[in-house]
């Protein structure tokens, strides 16, 4: 592990993810943490973890970013004390609201997010049995958590290993901090206008698998529904005749 991003979600983490990949780092973002480390994170969020857990989880990873990583930045840094810490800031921190396509994989992702909501954001977990979910937001609590987290990182991260960074500053401070040459291209800007979910659904293989699973399930349900309707109308004349026979037989007509 070379880089730990301790910044809250929605502070430019998706743009930084792209920038780190451009600089040659293998990055675990939220989706990678779910796909490869779901069981580990479920254990940590439920029972707790250890330095050895994080050493094993990230031994072949260069950088990790976004939830739930930023909440456990200190523990991850204890496992990788030579790693550098990037703390992303933003003038206005927006609140995350996403809706997921229902699928078996989506249920697992939804359950993990619900657990992270409870532990990291102090919000009720979502119900993975529903077809969609939204993070319930208490903005006062969220802003307080953001201030507390900011103070914790700035006060406790080793000063020689910490970069407090606003993405508006571009490549120069990031590359200088990481000892990397400045790329000859514009700094990336992902999730402009809050379009992260649409981008993930179109481009990320895990999200694409959710779409395929949902399509198969919806197709099966639609087929079963159509078959049921066909059977109902197919046998309705016989059912009507049978009902008439019973009424006549019992002298009700």
Alpha-carbon dihedral sign for residues 211, 217, 220, 224: negative
Residues forming beta bridges with residue 64, ordered by sequence position: 4, 28
Asked whether residue 47 falls in the same domain as residue 147, the answer is yes
**Which pLDDT score is estimated for 99?**
40
Phi, psi dihedrals of residue 102, rounded to the nearest 5°: -75, 130
User: What φ, ψ does residue 5 adopt, rounded to 5°?
Assistant: -95, 115
Say if 225 falls within a structural domain. yes
Q: For the chain, how many structural domains are there in total?
A: 2
Claim: this prediction has a pTM higher than 0.85: no
Residue 155 belongs to domain with CATH number? 3.40.50.300
Give the burial class of 140: count Cβ atoms within 10 A of its Cβ; 0-12 exposed, 13-18 middle, 19 or more buried.
exposed
- Three-state SS for 252? coil
- Cβ-in-10-Å burial (0-12, 13-18, 19+) of 248 comes to exposed
pLDDT in tens, the chain (253 residues): 999 999 988 788 888 999 999 999 999 998 888 888 989 988 998 888 999 999 999 999 999 998 889 889 999 999 999 999 999 987 554 444 334 444 555 566 666 666 666 666 656 555 444 444 455 566 777 777 788 888 999 999 999 999 999 999 999 999 999 999 999 999 988 655 445 555 555 555 655 555 555 555 555 555 555 555 545 555 555 555 555 455 455 554 4
Residue 53: inside a domain: yes
Residues 64 and 160 in one domain: yes
What integer pLDDT is reported at residue 96 of this predicted model? 41
Supply the range of the domain harboring residue 242: 216-253
């Amino acid at each position: 592990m070379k880089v730990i991003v301790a910044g809250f979600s929605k502070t430019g983490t998706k743009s930084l993810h792209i920038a780190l990949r451009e600089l040659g780092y293998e990055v675990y973002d939220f989706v990678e943490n779910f796909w490869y480390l779901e069981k580990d994170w479920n254990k940590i969020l439920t029972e707790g973890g250890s330095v050895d857990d994080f050493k094993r989880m990230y031994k072949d990873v260069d950088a990790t970013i976004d939830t739930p990583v930023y909440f456990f930045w200190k523990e991850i840094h204890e496992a990788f004390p030579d790693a550098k810490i990037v703390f992303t800031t933003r003038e206005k921190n927006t609140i995350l609201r996403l809706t997921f396509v229902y699928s078996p994989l989506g249920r697992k992702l939804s359950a993990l997010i619900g657990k992270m909501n409870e532990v990291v954001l102090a919000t009720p977990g979502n119900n993975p049995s529903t077809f969609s979910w939204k993070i319930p937001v208490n903005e006062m609590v969220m802003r307080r958590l953001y201030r507390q987290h900011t103070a914790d990182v700035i006060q406790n991260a080793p000063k020689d290993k910490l970069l407090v960074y606003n993405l508006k500053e571009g490549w120069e401070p990031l590359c200088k901090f990481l000892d990397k040459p400045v790329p000859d291209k514009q700094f990336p800007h992902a999730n402009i206008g809050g379009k992260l979910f649409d981008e993930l659904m179109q481009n990320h293989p895990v999200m694409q698998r959710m779409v395929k699973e949902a399509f198969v399930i919806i197709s099966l349900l639609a087929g079963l529904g159509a078959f049921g309707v066909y059977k109902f109308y197919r046998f309705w004349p016989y059912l009507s005749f049978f009902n008439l026979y019973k009424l006549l037989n019992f002298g009700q007509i």
